[in-house]
Chain A
Amino acid sequence: MANRAVPQRPNGQTPGKICQFKLVLLGESSVGKSSLVLRFVKGQFHEYQESTIGAAFLTQTIHLNDVAVKFEIWDTAGQERYHSLAPMYYRGAQAAIVVYDITNQDTFERAKNWVKELQRQATPGIVIALAGNKLDLNTMRSVQTDESQTYAYENGLLFMETSAKTSANVTEIFKAIAEKLPKNETTNTAGQGRRLVESEGANKSLSSCCK
């Protein structure tokens, strides 16, 4: 019986606790939201998951000590015209990455708006990370690191400058989010969204129940 219940984890990590979190990606279009997440997901598996025909919805699991943190990443349409639809996406999300392009000051301003909106409307206690993407284009930078750093600090955000192209800081930012997310209590703040599947002994399955 115990054998049968052994969870089938794709990366073969030792079973511990699995926490599943919904992470929503926000940011102007063309700042590289999907590249960032593709790098994060691809980098670890070297291939797309079976269902990865698009980069709009992806899942990735990372391991912190004995805890497996499974991110369910929801991409959002960044165009201004779809801005009003965003609440539908971040409803019930436990984490958000607001992405901007370090070569484009406008995208940083948009990012600030997103942060404001999230803090006002999203799930209380949502972990927000600010990602300044396209670090590989450092020479064309128009948003200074200090500026963003200060903004992030003032608003209690995680902040990193990333590059989807060179994969700099990509995994790191997700790891930082995973560390900041509460993993002990059942994060039921959203009322519905969360899924926290805990193992209750060696002979119980741990794999997450979401498809």
Chain B
Amino acid sequence: MMSFKKGNFRIGEAELKCKKANGCDYYGNPQWDGFCSKCYKDIQRHRRMNASPKKAPINKTSEKQDLKKVGSTEKKSKLSYLKMFNTIKSKDDISEKSKKDYDPLIAKKLDQLDVEYMPILSETKSLRTDLKKQIHNFCQMMMMSHLQSPVDIQSELTQHFYQNILDMLNNNYSYDELSQEKKEQILDYTEKYSMIKLYKFLFCMTLADEEEDLAIQKRIRQLNWVNAKHLDCDIDKTNAQIIELVYKAILELLDMDSATAPQDKLACVVRCCRHIFGVLQGGNNGMKGPASADDFLPVLIFVVLKANPVRLKSNLHYVTRFCNASRLMSGEAGYYFTNLCCAVSFIENINAELLSMNIEEFEQYMNGTLVSDTWDSALIICEGMHQMFEQLALLADLKRRNIIIVDDALKLKNEMSDFKDSFMDQFAVLKEVYTIIDDCDETNNKMAVSIDDYDPLCSSLPSWTMTPQVIQPAERTRTSSSCTDVDSWDIHSAETVSLHSLDTCFNTPQGNNEISGSSLEPTINVQPQLDEIQEISIQGWQIPSIPCETGGKEITNSKMNTQ
């Protein structure tokens, strides 16, 4: 195999061996330009280093031009081309492109798909990774080739890919356990996943498709006068239920354009056709027996005419090309799809004879000289009207929901103002309480000051003012009620203290007097005076403990006494 490719390589001496001039003993590989893996790696590194200045500007130019540029400079330097091909095209270009093209909607759809098929995919160990790898490779290939190769080739490639996956499932030993249904589902998944991913590249890809779309659309517009009678359809215009079913069928057909995976498009066709059978059976009552194709096809043609779906031809082409061929040739979906194709083909070839009317009349209708009756006229504008009604319904729904939202918002507003009021009330109460506390604070402060005042007078007791800091932290909460420790006055203790402090409010003036009174003669007898304060006011209780906590002070006190 390798020798056939000989002409492609510049150094063609050793056909199978590594192409490195120095004679590397290993075998080469065409994927690695005929080098062995090691030599190729080295050469790649070289190239990368040489070509790095060129790379930067190219990267900035637009991708498509980039590819062409790369193609044109190919012959000049194959080395740099290969380098660019490897680095830019396969990595940057595709990944950037794919990032750009995978809008969040597609990503979301793919995620949903993954979730939906998770139970089947996770059944066999290697299946998921195998499948992902295959799909990924296929998508990459299709993305790279979608500009160059004609549609037919792409379609062929796709069918080939489906066949490959089927072969993999059928022949690979590890998938023997899977039942046929599961294999079908896996195929389904493969098809859906890759087609959703590639939809942008594959749908309506040629100018010819677009022209056909416009042609058929114009044609159907011209034929808007064709009514059920012309087609020998058996539609009961007076039955609201049946008219509703006709509308439903039309809607399903219109929906086909918005589906991405071929199966989803087919599903739309199937739903549309089922509605048509509903029409033929006379609504839900089922007054008539199962309808045959003789009745079915005319109604389908009628529905297609009245729906005039956008991009009809593109959709049909897309499904024909990229849907698994076996799905189209058999099965219910295949049957209905064939019918749809037939209907479109009929519409394209419609003439006076086919509608069993004379040519003059047909021409008059086509010119617009003759017009059809009321319900048919209504259906003529059905295409627009129905959508308008749909949107009106949507708007009504939105309006309804908006009203609910406004109501809720008002309710919320009221609740908030209520809350605000109650909060303010509570706040007012709390404020009152705090004013009282503040008042107490102030009076306490005064007393504290008076104690402080007392200190400088007792110049012989330097440790007196430091008393609160010396007390152990555990004790502090207890001592917080003390007026001397203003800093530790906190909210936690405020409540318990407030009652006391109210008491003290009354007592403090006396206590104050006592202290201030005693402060006049500190040297005389400290101990009894402290006892006296303890008896009078609560905040005084801790004062006797001071000597206990600070033994040193007692000494100073006693020293003081001796003095």
A: residues with CB less than 8 A from B are: 1, 4-5, 7, 20, 22, 25, 29-30, 33-34, 38, 48, 51-57, 72, 74-79, 81-82, 84-85, 88-89, 91-92, 190, 192-195, 197, 203-211
User: Which chain B residue lies CB-closest to A197?
Assistant: B180
For residue B354, which residues in chain A have a CB less than 8 angstroms away from its CB?
Answer: 81
Q: Select one of A53, A91, A197 contacting B278, CB under 8 A.
A: A53
A87 shortest CB reach to chain B, Å: 10
Q: Select one of B176, B332, B355, B356 contacting A51, CB under 8 A.
A: B332
For residue A78, which residues in chain B have a CB less than 8 angstroms away from its CB?
Answer: 293-294
Given contacts A53-B281, A77-B298, contact A84 B349 (CB under 8 A): yes
A100 shortest CB reach to chain B, Å: 15
Task: Contact check, A88 vs B329: say whether CB atoms are below 8 A apart.
Answer: no
Task: Contact check, B297 vs A77: say whether CB atoms are below 8 A apart.
Answer: yes
For residue B330, which residues in chain A have a CB less than 8 angstroms away from its CB?
Answer: 20, 22, 72, 92, 193, 195, 210
Task: Contact check, B290 vs A77: say whether CB atoms are below 8 A apart.
Answer: no
Q: Select one of A79, A206, A207, A211 contacting B294, CB under 8 A.
A: A79
Task: Contact check, B342 vs A82: say whether CB atoms are below 8 A apart.
Answer: yes
In the complex the two chains form, what is the Cα distance from A88 to B342 in whole Å?
7
In the complex the two chains form, what is the Cα distance from A190 to B331 in whole Å?
16
In the complex the two chains form, what is the Cα distance from A33 to B297 in whole Å?
15
In the complex the two chains form, what is the Cα distance from A195 to B327 in whole Å?
10
In the complex the two chains form, what is the Cα distance from A207 to B72 in whole Å?
54
B114 contacts chain A at the CB level, 8 A cutoff: no
In the complex the two chains form, what is the Cα distance from A95 to B118 in whole Å?
39
Task: Contact check, A92 vs B329: say whether CB atoms are below 8 A apart.
Answer: yes
In the complex the two chains form, what is the Cα distance from A65 to B55 in whole Å?
71
B: residues with CB less than 8 A from A are: 176-177, 179-181, 183-184, 232, 274, 277-278, 280-281, 289-294, 296-298, 325-333, 335-336, 338-339, 341-342, 345-346, 349, 353-356
For residue A53, which residues in chain B have a CB less than 8 angstroms away from its CB?
Answer: 274, 277-278, 281, 290
Q: Select one of A4, A38, A208 contacting B290, CB under 8 A.
A: A38
In the complex the two chains form, what is the Cα distance from A206 to B335 in whole Å?
23
User: Which chain B residue lies CB-closest to A34?
Assistant: B292
In the complex the two chains form, what is the Cα distance from A77 to B345 in whole Å?
14
Q: Select one of A57, A77, A92, A206 contacting B180, CB under 8 A.
A: A206
Task: Contact check, A54 vs B329: say whether CB atoms are below 8 A apart.
Answer: no
Task: Contact check, A211 vs B331: say whether CB atoms are below 8 A apart.
Answer: yes
In the complex the two chains form, what is the Cα distance from A148 to B291 in whole Å?
29
Given contacts A5-B179, A89-B342, A211-B331, contact A34 B290 (CB under 8 A): yes
Given contacts A56-B292, A84-B349, A85-B342, contact A209 B181 (CB under 8 A): yes
Report which residue of A53, A54, A76, A88 has the largest number of chain B beta carbons within 10 angstroms of its beta carbon: A54
19 additional A-B pairs beyond A7-B179, A77-B298, A89-B338, beta carbons within 8 Å, are A25-B293, A33-B293, A34-B291, A34-B292, A34-B293, A53-B274, A54-B280, A54-B291, A75-B294, A77-B296, A81-B354, A85-B342, A89-B342, A192-B328, A193-B330, A197-B180, A204-B179, A205-B181, A210-B326
Task: Contact check, B326 vs A55: say whether CB atoms are below 8 A apart.
Answer: no
In the complex the two chains form, what is the Cα distance from A55 to B297 in whole Å?
12
For residue A210, which residues in chain B have a CB less than 8 angstroms away from its CB?
Answer: 326-327, 330-331
Report which residue of B180, B277, B289, B341 has the largest number of chain A beta carbons within 10 angstroms of its beta carbon: B180
For residue B289, which residues in chain A have a CB less than 8 angstroms away from its CB?
Answer: 38, 55
In the complex the two chains form, what is the Cα distance from A4 to B111 in whole Å?
28
Task: Contact check, A193 vs B329: say whether CB atoms are below 8 A apart.
Answer: yes
Task: Contact check, A205 vs B232: say whether CB atoms are below 8 A apart.
Answer: no
B323 shortest CB reach to chain A, Å: 11
9 A-B residue pairs with CB within 8 Å: A48-B290, A54-B281, A55-B292, A88-B338, A195-B326, A197-B180, A205-B180, A209-B326, A210-B326
A60 shortest CB reach to chain B, Å: 14
Task: Contact check, A54 vs B180: say whether CB atoms are below 8 A apart.
Answer: no
Q: Select one of B281, B325, B332, B339 contacting A192, CB under 8 A.
A: B325
Q: Select one of A75, A205, A207 contacting B292, CB under 8 A.
A: A75
Q: Select one of A5, A88, A195 contacting B341, CB under 8 A.
A: A88
User: Which chain A residue lies CB-closest to B298?
Assistant: A77
Report which residue of B290, B297, B338 has the largest number of chain A beta carbons within 10 angstroms of its beta carbon: B290
In the complex the two chains form, what is the Cα distance from A70 to B523 in whole Å?
123
User: Which chain B residue lies CB-closest to A21?
Assistant: B330
Given contacts A22-B330, A89-B338, contact A34 B184 (CB under 8 A): no
For residue B336, which residues in chain A have a CB less than 8 angstroms away from its CB?
Answer: 57
For residue A4, which residues in chain B have a CB less than 8 angstroms away from its CB?
Answer: 179
In the complex the two chains form, what is the Cα distance from A38 to B329 in whole Å?
22
In the complex the two chains form, what is the Cα distance from A157 to B333 in whole Å?
30
For residue A192, which residues in chain B have a CB less than 8 angstroms away from its CB?
Answer: 325-326, 328-329
Task: Contact check, B293 vs A5: say whether CB atoms are below 8 A apart.
Answer: no
Given contacts A5-B179, A206-B180, A211-B331, contact A54 B325 (CB under 8 A): no
In the complex the two chains form, what is the Cα distance from A22 to B341 in whole Å?
18
A81 shortest CB reach to chain B, Å: 5
Task: Contact check, B292 vs A54: say whether CB atoms are below 8 A apart.
Answer: yes
The 7 nearest A-B residue pairs measured at CB: A34-B292, A75-B293, A205-B180, A193-B329, A205-B179, A77-B297, A55-B290
